[in-house]
Amino acid sequence: MGYAASESGSTEVASALAIKILIAGGFGVGKTTMVGTISEIRPLHTEELLSERGIGVDDTSGVESKTTTTVALDFGRITIREGLWLYLFGTPGQDRFWFMWDELSIGALGSVVLADTRRLQDCFAAIDYFEQRGIPFLVAVNCFDGARRHEPATVRRALGLGDATPIVLCDVRDRESVKDVLTTLVMYAVEGVFKASRPA
């Protein structure tokens, strides 16, 4: 809650709300691109060139052309309306940076778990993480060029997810597609909050 002074000199209470969303998933699945596509500000990226230290540690199979990696987070912002902002935090994809997830997840309304059907196993860890902590999430299948397309029901079965978890197809390079993903997540997470607050 913030305070804003009006022209008449009186002080009025101005409500403000910031919603925190995580963008998670495996290495090279498109998290940095997603944040950059939708952010209204120049996104903060903490990308570094892949180095020899990652050889044998980071699994780059399927993304051999990738030359950089997020080592801390990606950050972007969207203004929904005056006093309402959506803050996006892209998490590091490699196992060795997962210790940061606990800090990034504090206060998050929910998470987008990005998936690549060519390397679907890479998103299992993110799904497990959010399930164990009770953080609402959806799975967004990033439809890479040349990748075989699968229906959401097929992806759901492959991931062993129940019917309640949304699964959507998207292109993280397309602003409207990313907007649809985020809208679906917020609606799903808010609906869960309302259900939890209702008396039994």
Q: How far apart are CA 198 and CA 174, in angstroms?
A: 37
The CATH code that applies to domain 18-197 is 3.40.50.300
Instruction: Give residue for tokens 């060029």.
Output: 145
pTM of the shown model? 0.78
What is the per-residue pLDDT across 153-179, written as a single tens digit (0 to 9) for each?
A: 999 999 999 999 999 999 999 999 999
What pLDDT digit, counting tens, does each position of 3-60 carry? 344 344 433 445 789 999 999 998 889 999 999 999 999 887 655 554 445 444 445 4
CA distances 194 to 1, 84, 118, 187, Å, are: 21, 19, 36, 11
C-alpha distances out from residue 17 to 28, 82, 87, 103, 110, Å: 31, 9, 10, 20, 15
